[in-house]
Amino acid sequence: MTATAPESIANTYTGIDDLKSRMGIAGVANDKTLWATLHAASRAVDRYCNRHFFTLEDVRLFDIDDHASVAIPDLVSVTEILEDRDGDRVFETTRPASDYALYPLNASPDSPTGRPHNEVRSDVGSSSNGFAIGRSRLSIEGRWGFRFSIVDTGSAISVSGGIGPVGTVVPVDVVSEIQAGMTIVIDNEQMFVRQVNGTNLTVKRGMNGSAISAHDDTAVISFVEFPAEISEATELLTARYWKSKDATSGGLAGVAGFGPIRVQAGFDAEIEQLLGPFRKLAIGTGV
């Protein structure tokens, strides 16, 4: 049993039950502090990598300096692209999918090994116009983040009539693959699991800009799968934060399941090795 995550906690990159088991922490007495530590470690991973690994559904605006292309933050998929072609700050022109391309090609950011798109190119080989040059000329609605890979939990909603758009308790048939700290997806709605109590999930609805909606009985529940290196680095960093108060004069502290951890400024070498391939230069377009 784990205490309910505070309302301010979300988008953690590992489940808290796995973390507690690995750290040798039992009971709920320290859960409030552990939740805060896990959340801090998850956001530290984002800052170090200059990108986030959760997926936001959002609209973002871009200046255009090149008719042929525009650099963008990590993008999983596009819902709609609108253009302001006459500079009146009204996005009245829809650019159809046939008139642009996302790069790199074959990125597959919805797959377990995918990577994000970081550029939109106008299809200059077609009869369409290039992008209009100017400030705030392009509006992109889509899913923003490193990747959006979801895995079937084997669970489904289990309550007559399903759940409405207001409730925060989701009754399910089984919870073998679900734990607090996960982001789950039902239909297109993202939810953060704050607690698992028997076969009832206490959740935070409409996460990351996803639309809150009703869901039918037997609706399939999936979870967002983060890169394994990101989850491992988050667990290591959480353990280091947790034990920093116990460090000796030599800067060492021990945590069950991790062995000796050197508590020092900056990230440990193991964490840097895990995160290095995911780190983006902190220049150009933001996260």
pLDDT at residue 204 in the model: 98
Measured CA to CA, the distance from residue 274 to residue 46 in angstroms comes to 13
Sign of torsion over alpha carbons 16, 18, 19, 21 = positive
For the chain, give every domain's residue range. 16-39+150-224, 56-144
Closest CA to 237 of 45, 48, 50: 45
Give residue 286's pLDDT. Answer: 57
Out of 3.90.226, 2.40.30, 1.10.3210, 3.30.70, the CATH code matching 16-39+150-224 is 2.40.30
Which pLDDT score, from 0 to 100, does residue 258 have? 60
- The Cα 190–Cα 203 span in angstroms is 10
Tens digits of pLDDT across the chain (287 residues): 678 999 999 999 999 999 999 999 999 998 999 999 999 999 999 999 999 999 999 999 999 999 999 999 999 999 999 999 999 999 999 999 999 999 999 999 999 999 999 999 997 665 568 999 999 999 999 999 999 999 999 999 999 999 999 999 999 999 989 999 999 999 999 999 999 999 999 999 999 999 999 999 999 999 999 999 999 999 999 999 988 766 554 555 555 566 665 556 678 899 999 999 999 987 655 56
Strands (E), the chain: 56-64, 69-83, 93-94, 100-103, 117-122, 134-144, 150-156, 169-171, 183-186, 189-197, 200-204, 220-224, 252-255, 259-262
> What does the chain come to in residues?
287
Residue 143's beta-bridge partner residues? 57, 77
Integer Cα distance of 243 and 55 in angstroms: 30
CA 233/CA 269 separation, integer angstroms: 11
For residues 261 and 268, the answer to whether their CB atoms sit within 8 Å is: yes
What do you get for the CA distance between the two ends of the chain, in Å? 35
Give the closest residue to 145 by CA, choosing from 44, 228, 76. 76
Residue 264: the pLDDT is 60
